[in-house]
Amino acid sequence: MNRRILSAIAAGVLAVLGAVLLVSYVNNADSRAMANMDPIEVLVVSALIPQGTPSDEIAESVTTQRLPRAAVGPDAVRSLAEVSGRVAATDLQPGEQLLGGRFVTLQSLERFGGIPVPEGYHSVTISLSAPQIVGGTITPGDTVGVFITVGDGTTRLILRKILVTRVQGGLGATQPNEGVENPDAAPVPDGGAMITMALTTDQSLTVVHAAKFSNIWLSLEDATVPQDGTPKVDMRNFS
């Protein structure tokens, strides 16, 4: 083997060795740089997660990635256990970090989004205080009775079995905290709410007029509530 061939072989070996050393240096540099960025492992969406998907059904749609702490969003999810029992509040797109704030209880999602309005019905919204809506506990899907009190002091039940399709507001996040006198007490209503109901044309006219000129109270109706008559009471009943 002549000297020229030996030189070519040596040059090739040196080139390969140089490439290996360069790759190793770059990888180590990346590792050192990442270490200096205080990386943490977070969950990242790898496939579309539709709104309303329960957290216990998204394991195959997320992956774990190490990201610099400075690049991690607020309330980043590191384990699906952190959002257990909740559902996606909106569509989650591939590539975005999984954030706890994007998960809510199913009830919260229903309260915001509501339920479909039956065909042929109007959607009518009225604003009421918490005591007028059973302490803020009315939710979409409930059926309510509609009571009104007019200027002459007469109160009557004007509508029954009215379907509630959407609630905005109502029972808020004011919950009994640890250390209070009765931690098992019911949550405290956080202000009033806007209640949307499915109504026929005649019922819509009645509710809109009552909202403008009367006081309205809603009741949650049990399935066994009698449906006969439209009872009323006025000041004479108390004299």
Give the model confidence (pLDDT) of 85-100 as tens digits: 888 887 888 988 898 8
Nearest-angstrom CA–CA distance, 70 and 196: 43
In the chain, CATH 3.90.1210.10 sits at 39-104
Among 29-38, 179-188, 229-238, the range of highest mean pLDDT: 229-238
pLDDT of residue 136: 81
Average pLDDT value over all residues in the chain: 77
228 secondary structure, DSSP code: S
- Residue bearing tokens 């190490």: 66
DSSP 33-65: HHHHT-EEEEEEE-S-B-TT-BGGG-GGGEEEE
Residue that is written with structure tokens 């026929």 in the block = 200
Residue 200 has a pLDDT of 94
Using the predicted structure, report yes or no on whether residue 216 has a pLDDT greater than 90.
yes
Highest mean pLDDT among 105-109, 142-146, 204-208, 233-237: 204-208
What type of residue is 205?
L
For 159-205, how does the pLDDT look when each residue is reduced to its tens digit (9 = 90+)? Answer: 988 999 888 876 544 444 444 455 555 555 556 789 999 999 999 99
Among the CATH numbers 3.90.1210.10, 3.30.930.10, 1.20.1730.10, 3.30.428.10, which is that of 39-104? 3.90.1210.10
pLDDT at 181: 56
Q: What is the DSSP track for 50-116?
A: -TT-BGGG-GGGEEEEEEEGGGPPTTB-SSGGGGTT-EESS-B-TTSBPBGGGEE-HHHHHHHH--P
C-alpha 125/C-alpha 117 separation (Å) is 13
Model confidence at 71: pLDDT above 60: yes
For the record, the structure tokens of 3 come out as 């000297």
Instruction: State pLDDT tens for residues 99-143.
Output: 888 888 877 676 667 777 888 999 999 999 988 998 888 888 888
User: Does pLDDT of 238 surpass 60?
Assistant: no
Residue 125's SS3 state is strand
pLDDT of residue 175: 42
Closest CA to 207 of 166, 158, 139: 158
Q: How far is CA 108 from the centre of its chain?
A: 5
Q: Reply yes or no on whether the pLDDT at 59 is more than 90.
A: yes
Average pLDDT over every residue of 143-154: 88
CA angle 187, 221, 152 (to 5 degrees): 95
**Percent of the chain at pLDDT exceeding 90:** 30
- Residue 49's nearest CA partner among 96, 2, 13 is 96
